Copies of this chain bind each other. A is one copy, B any other.
């Protein structure tokens, strides 16, 4: 990672939500990004596996970080919408999410992401639309 990519990763890891949920950005480089989340009982829903919100946050972040890592300096991105499938329950262990850019438009970027467990099993896959913006701009 470049110093700028490192700065982005550090800034995201400093977010309150990342600490609350135990999510960690690992890298953002050339239109891809990697995050990790160690699933524990604190993430569980009524059936004993990670709640959909946990995985959705991970997929959202993987896509957003892939986009931000490739964005011009000072540009931010906001999730307009996303869709994700839940393909296997995540009960414990470390999930690794990988995001990548599918299409970069002038105002919008489309990305996809997937999250896999320790055994390499796909637990979630998603696709989303993001809006470029400059913080402070109208």
A83 at the B interface (CB under 8 A) = yes
A135 at the B interface (CB under 8 A) = yes
Q: How many monomers of this protein are in the complex?
A: 4
Interface string of A6-35 (1 = CB under 8 A from B): 000001101111011100000000000000
Residues of chain B contacted by A85 (CB below 8 angstroms): 80-81, 102-103, 110, 127, 129
Interface string of A61-96 (1 = CB under 8 A from B): 100100000000000101111111111100000000
Report, nearest first, the 5 A-B pairs whose CB atoms are least far apart.
Answer: A53-B57, A56-B56, A83-B83, A52-B60, A17-B51
Q: Which residues on A are within 8 Å of B, measured CB to CB?
A: 11-12, 14-17, 19-21, 41-47, 50-54, 56-58, 60-61, 64, 76, 78-88, 102-103, 105, 107-108, 110, 112, 114, 122, 125-127, 129, 131, 135
